[in-house]
Structure 1
Amino acid sequence: MSITGTLIIQVIVFLILVGFTMKFVWPPIAAALDERARKIAEGLAAADKARAELQAADKKVEQELAKSRAEVAQLLADAERRAQGIVEEAKGRATEEANKIIAAARADAEQQTVRAREALRDQVAMLAVKGAEQILRREVNPSVHSDLLNRLQAELV
């Protein structure tokens, strides 16, 4: 056989092999490659979608945290204002109570002073009467001179 005949037969066999490969082998390989490319594309799309959802969730979490922080700050400010009000109210009540106690103590002291003065006047009057009685033992008659003794007592007041 000549080289030309061998070459033609090899070309024919090669063309049959290419035709067989194109008809029976290549479609499943192309389908598998297309399926794999599709799955990779779907995975990338899902990853992009998940990344976007994660970013959205992060933004939402940050917003909720900011909102919660603002609410907590507001609650703390309200609590501090209430506490300050309670303290001021307690101070006011304590001042009122102290003023009442001081006023009561002053009134009591004034009453005791008045009582002590009256008792002292009575004692001074009694001593004056006793002294005068001793000096003028015979001349002093309490029933006769009661008006004089009352004036004497009034002058000592």
Structure 2
Amino acid sequence: MFINASLIVQMIVFLLLVGFTMKFVWPPIVKALDERAEKIREGLSAADKAKAELKGAEAQIAKELAATKAESGKLIGDAEKRAAAIVEEAKKKAEEEGAKIVAAAKADAEQQVGRAREALREQVAALAVKGAEQILQREVNAGVHAELLSRLKTEL
């Protein structure tokens, strides 16, 4: 087995190429790969951190949403109570106004009854005088007998 000179020259060139590559080409490639791996690790850790923050934010949002719902429920309940109180107050005022109207109507009716009774008394007194005139066949003087007619009115 003879190794010829071209094979030896090729081996020397190959070894020089490997040496050159190991000294000048390989370190920047390894450095770039290490930097890339570090960036990937940083990106993954940032993604994990962002996920954790997102979960925390979602939990905070859920808490705030629950608090807001509770507060709005309370406000709605208060508004319903206030509306019911306003309705009750309006009912009371309406009942009071109705009672005043009924009382005024009763007083007016009593006044009208009193006036009607007075008018009826006067009419009865006049009829009594006319009846007495006819019975006595003479005219009774109302001015002379005013006291008698007053007593008659009060008795009726």
TM range (shorter): 0.7 to 0.9
Alignment gaps of 5+ in structure 1? none
SS at structure 1 position matched to 2:138: coil
Alignment gaps of 5+ in structure 2? none
Pairwise CA RMSD of aligned residues? Answer: 2.5
Q: Tell me the matched-pair count.
A: 156
TM-score by length of 1: 0.84
Residue deviations 1:74-103 (CA, integer Å, cap 9, x gap) = 111111111111000000000011011101
Question: 2:129 aligns to what?
Answer: 129
Q: 2 CA distance for matches of 1:125 and 1:139?
A: 14
Q: 2 CA distance for matches of 1:44 and 1:61?
A: 25
Residue deviations 1:21-80 (CA, integer Å, cap 9, x gap) = 221121011001001101111111221122222222222222221122112111111111
Question: 1:116 aligns to what?
Answer: 116
Q: 1 CA distance for matches of 2:139 and 2:99?
A: 56
Verify the 8 A CA contact 2:129 2:140 in the aligned structure 1: no
TM-score by length of 2: 0.84
Counterpart check, 1:56 vs 2:50: no
- 1:7-156 matches, within 5 Å, as 13-138=13-138, 140-142=140-142, 145-156=145-156
Percent of aligned pairs sharing the same letter: 67
| Bigger RCO of structures 1 and 2 (CA < 8 A, at least 6 apart) | 1
Q: 2 CA distance for matches of 1:143 and 1:33?
A: 141
